[in-house]
Amino acid sequence: MRSNSTTSITTTARNTQSQKLLERAKKSLAGGDSSTMRVLPYQLPLVASSGKGSRLRDADGNEYIDLNMAYGPLILGHRPQCVIEAVTKQISESGSQLGFPTEITTRVAEKIKTLFPSMELMRFANSGTEAIASAIRLARTFTGRNRIILFEGNYHGWSESVFQKYHAPLTELPAEGFGPAIPGTSGMLPLGLDAISVRWNDLATFQKVMELYGDTVAGVILEPVMGNAGVIPPQQGFLNGLREVTLDYGSMLIFDEVITGFRVGPGGAQEKYLVTPDITIVSKAFGGGYPVAAFGASREIMDVIVNGPLFHGGVYSGNAVVMAAAEAVLDELLTGQAAIYSHLNRVTDYLCRGLSDIMDRMQVPHITQHIGAVASLFLTTSEVESLNDYRDVRTHCDFEKYIDFQQAAQQRGVFFHPNQFEPMFPSTAHSVSDVDEALDRIEDAARCTLQTWQ
């Protein structure tokens, strides 16, 4: 990560208004925004004013080809017409918040079940963090156990039970590949042995942990394709191995498909890798930019909510406007499934090949990794064949180099997040010509910063 010496970013004519608005915001919003990830000290000032399709505009009038897509939710791009029409109709004809069960909520649940049949019954929430917190309670209630197994580099929201220090320095990680999860922020109580963090893609170490603690493990939660340390796919046999071991010990296998759901394929990672979890969480892509998540499981497991003793609620859970947006997105994904996912895969493949070609020509060590419409470019300190876990990314990747490269790309009208732990998220709104244009600008950005990389 960048040192404090980089907290002062040069303001140019390109971002003068954004800088002024951020300074104004800091007088009312802590740090200038309601998410730290949007106002990191090494980010160039960018206050967004609007988005359309694959493009974003800032307060200074600059246009960007947006490869971030609001951290993944905008699978149909900015302001898709189907979502605008559905939301407008819901607000104008039926209302935004009715305070009672609605048919639209049932329809959305039925459509999710079509793609995620493991979610036999589900509940809606307002964010991935909320849904995951409830999923952990669900696992603990159903099994009568408390312990949760996590994986290094995986992020499951900021709730008390699972917010680990997912980007911990290597010096803080245990040599044996597992240990008590490190609390992710000040103000948390120690997680102790109620949360154990294990090295990703290390089935042997996971089996050892389960031999030690398996009889007390309520749930094993993971991103089935890691997306919070860059894109790191599961190695062959890893997910199947987790499934077998959790069954042996009667522990819940919990797939956090907040990122992977509807992005690595219509049925998420569980469809792609043919591994069925006990509990699933989905969010982001199916909301079309509206705040929504769902957690679900078999009827037997969810019965602890239906008939008690587990409580789940939320005034805005299943909000009618949000459901209207979600139904519009799901209808698009269901009716146009073959064409949509063919396009998403083609555009993402093309982007990754183009990024790799640029870096190859400039002899810049790198790796691109992607699954479906989730992609990462890793700039490395030397040539490596693959990055298979969080420790690999920490060991081999050059974060300073990536920040310089990102800033140069942003100044040329292409936006992706400056933290290389954050993936890129192509959408259906991105065309091959958009990617060609982005790659031309990215190549110019790379040439501009190449001297600092040697």
142-165 pLDDT per residue, tens: 999 999 999 999 999 999 999 999
- pLDDT tens digits, one per residue of 403-421: 999 999 999 999 999 999 9
What is the arithmetic mean of pLDDT over 265-283? 98
| pLDDT score of 189 | 85
How confident is residue 453, by pLDDT bands cut at 50, 70 and 90?
Answer: low
| Residue in 21, 74, 434 with CA at minimum distance from that of residue 290 | 74
How confident is residue 11, by pLDDT bands cut at 50, 70 and 90?
Answer: low
% the chain with pLDDT above 90? 93
| pLDDT score of 301 | 98
Q: Which residues contact 321 (CB under 8 A, 6 or more apart)?
A: 87, 90, 91, 96, 97, 290
Please identify which of the residues 166, 273, 278, 284 carries the catalytic annotation: 284
Please identify which of the residues 58, 60, 66, 256 carries the catalytic annotation: 256
**Residue 108: pLDDT over 70:** yes
- Distance between CA atoms of residues 346 and 375, nearest Å: 12
DSSP-derived secondary structure for 1-18: ---GGG--PPP-TTSHHH
Establish whether 284 is a catalytic residue. Answer: yes
- Distance between CA atoms of residues 115 and 93, nearest Å: 29
Any idea what the Cα angle at residue 142 is, between residues 293 and 153, rounded to 5°? 50
Phi, psi of 417 (to 5 degrees): -70, 140
| pLDDT score of 78 | 98
Query: 13 burial class (0-12, 13-18, 19+ CB within 10 angstroms)?
Result: exposed
% the chain with pLDDT above 70? 96
What is the arithmetic mean of pLDDT over 201-210? 98
DSSP-derived secondary structure for 151-214: ETT----S-TTT-B-TT--GGGS-TTSEEEPPBSSTTPPP-GGGEEEE-TT-HHHHHHHHHHHG
Please identify which of the residues 42, 64, 155, 390 carries the catalytic annotation: 155
- Distance between CA atoms of residues 410 and 48, nearest Å: 13
- Distance between CA atoms of residues 427 and 71, nearest Å: 11
| pLDDT score of 451 | 63
| pLDDT score of 13 | 74
Global pTM reads: 0.95
Average pLDDT of the chain is 95
| pLDDT score of 5 | 33
**Residue 103: pLDDT over 90:** yes
**Residue 191: pLDDT over 60:** yes
- pLDDT tens digits, one per residue of 222-231: 999 999 999 9
Task: List 220's β-bridge partners, or say none.
Answer: 149, 253
- Distance between CA atoms of residues 318 and 316, nearest Å: 6
C-alpha atoms less than 13 angstroms from C-alpha of 329 in its C-beta half-sphere = 32
Establish whether 26 is a catalytic residue. Answer: no
**Domains of the chain as residue ranges with CATH:** 4-79+337-453 (3.90.1150.10), 81-335 (3.40.640.10)
Q: Which amino acid is at 129?
A: T
- Distance between CA atoms of residues 266 and 341, nearest Å: 8
Establish whether 71 is a catalytic residue. Answer: no
**Residue 6: pLDDT over 60:** no
How confident is residue 53, by pLDDT bands cut at 50, 70 and 90?
Answer: very high
Which residue shows structure tokens 């004519």?
Answer: 13
